[in-house]
Amino acid sequence: MYGLVDCNNFYVSCERVFQPRLDNRPVVVLSNNDGNVVSRSAEAKQLGIPMGAPFFEVRELLRHHQGHALSSNYALYGDMSRRVMARLAAHAPAVEVYSIDEAFLDLHGLTTYCGTLDTRVQAIRRDVLACTGIPTCVGVAPTKTLAKVANRLAKKHPELQGVLRLDTASRRERALRALPVADVWGIGYQYAGKLATHGIRTAWELSQVSEAWARKHLGGVVGWRLVQELLGQPCQDLNPSEDGTLARKSISCSRSFGQRLTAFDDLWGAMATYLSRAAEKLRAQGDQAHILTVYLSQDRYDTRVPPPYTRSTTLTLPGGPTSDTLQLLAYARRMLERLYEPGRVYVKAGVVLDGLERPGRGQQLSLFAPASSTATNPLSDVRAQQLMRSLDALNRQFGRGTVRPAATVTAAGQSAPWQGKAQHKSQAFTTRLEDLLVVG
């Protein structure tokens, strides 16, 4: 049996833990740049504010109902997530951290020593709420996809008290008949439309299609696995997360700029900033990357700009895998020079690190790179690693960006031209000493 634990309105719930004035009011959390709504309180959902709505479209509605809009505070949410996951790990034999606010639990054997599955799962919810202040719902089922179904219904129907278990054929059928097909995990905007034209409206109807049909219309083997999982046939195993964090297979960093940019130096400043951040994440995960992608985007809402809006270039690093910010910057600079076209107006840039591997294991050595090259010379490698370790340590102690590449630094007192907006941000209640909540 799998359990899927999903935090309710996670970002809003995190904010409410430290700001009780937000209780019982419509509250939304906004994406980077204060662009879109990414988390909504129950009250905000009741106002009809959809997920992903552009902020400017709902600002007035929210104001009219004495609501609050907050800029996203990822330092807070990330820390709260770690706390929740730590509680889950204390209860279940194995946990797969699936996203910042969701985890699959291995529930095997959980009933043998302490009550029924339902009472055990309720105890987990109570513990998470007591220790972190975050409310959750749990779906319990023999496959991950059915656990998602159960979770969805548990959220929709408060009378279920946060838990739904789908472990018999009749319970499964009832649940699938009650769930619109668009709410099934793996059915997005495109597939939902296609299914509708074939008269398939519920999860139950989807579960009854043939293998050939699923393969033809729902992306091949992926679609067929989805159908089998709805039927209770597991196709996806639990991938337990080490130490409560999820190791990524790629790491990216991208931002929309606060203003439109055309100058190469500004774009390079932004790119260098994002790459530095991505490399930090890479080192924090203990990996090196051997594929680097950089991209620039123009405004996709500007009808005068013909597609493609995004142009990218990818490089397999000739010097082999690295986590050295300075080495990555040297590659990225040349890639940006190739990508950049004077006269174009850019609104966003980003970098992706791929081909991640742990250093020192099963690594392909370059046959042809000269021994003196900075990329392969072991001595300079060691020194580069020492430099990065010192840089990370300083930034951990004194705050992100205390020590950083010169390309990302702007004149004293001036904010970077690529800097986005974040006008409604809460404090780093749990991760910065100055922001600790003072009660009294």
Partner DNA sequence: TCTGGGGTCCTAGGACCC
Choices 34-42, 132-140, 165-173, 319-327 (CB under 7 A): range interacting with DNA: 34-42
Task: Say which residues have a Cβ less than 8 Å from residue 198's Cβ, sequence separation at least 6.
Answer: 217
Question: Which tokens sit at 426?
Answer: 């809460």
Which residue, 419 or 431, has its beta carbon nearer to DNA? 419
Q: Report the site for DNA in 246-265 (rule: CB under 7 A).
A: 248-256
How much is the CA Rg of the chain, to the nearest whole Å? 24
Residue window 46-85: x/- pattern of binding to DNA, with contact defined by CB under 7 A: ------x-x-x-----------------------------
Does the protein bind DNA through residue 281 (CB under 7 A)?
A: yes
Give whichever of 111 and 245 is closer to DNA, judged by the CB atom.
Answer: 245
Binding residues for DNA restricted to 138-197, rule: CB under 7 A: 148, 184-192
CA distance 419 to 255: 9
Question: By C-beta, is 168 or 363 nearer to DNA?
Answer: 363
CB of 83 to DNA, least distance (A): 16
CA angle, 421 then 425 then 428, to 5°: 130
Q: At its nearest, how many Å lie between DNA and the CB of residue 111?
A: 27
The DSSP code sequence of 237-265 is: ---PPGGG-PPPS-EEEEEEEEEEE--HH
Q: How far is the CB of 313 from DNA (least distance, A)?
A: 7
DSSP character for 352? Answer: E
- In order, the DSSP letters of 393-419 are HHHHHH-TTSS--GGG---TT---TT-
Residue number with CB closer to DNA (35 or 232): 35
Segment near DNA (CB under 7 A), from 27-35, 119-127, 169-177, 374-382?
Answer: 27-35
Q: Give the C-alpha separation, 132 to 90, whole Å.
A: 14
State the nearest-atom distance from the C-beta of 185 to DNA, in Å.
Answer: 5
Binders of DNA among residues 221 to 250 (CB under 7 A) are 221-222, 248-250
Q: Taking CB under 7 A as the rule, which mask of x and - marks residues 324-363 in contact with DNA?
A: -----------------------xx-x----x--------
For the chain, the maximum distance between any two Cα atoms, rounded to a whole number of angstroms, is 69
**101 or 381: CB nearest DNA:** 101
Query: Looking at this protein, which amino acid is placed at residue 347?
Result: V
Q: Does 15 bind DNA (CB under 7 A)?
A: no
The answer to whether the beta carbons of residues 153 and 178 sit under 8 Å apart is yes
**Cβ distance to DNA smaller for residue 366 or 390:** 366
**Which residue matches tokens 């209860």?**
91
Alpha-carbon distance 432 to 75, whole Å? 9
How far CA 177 is from CA of 16, 68, 91, 139, 170, in Å, comes to 35, 37, 32, 16, 11
Is the bond preceding 50 in cis, omega lying within 30 degrees of 0?
Answer: no
User: What residue has token string 């600002």?
Assistant: 59
Please work out the total of residues on this chain that contact DNA, with binding judged by CB under 7 A. 51
36 binds DNA (CB under 7 A): yes
Which chain residues interact with DNA by CB under 7 A? 31-33, 35-36, 38, 52, 54, 56, 98-102, 148, 184-192, 219-222, 248-256, 277, 281, 291, 301, 308, 312, 314-316, 347-348, 350, 355, 420
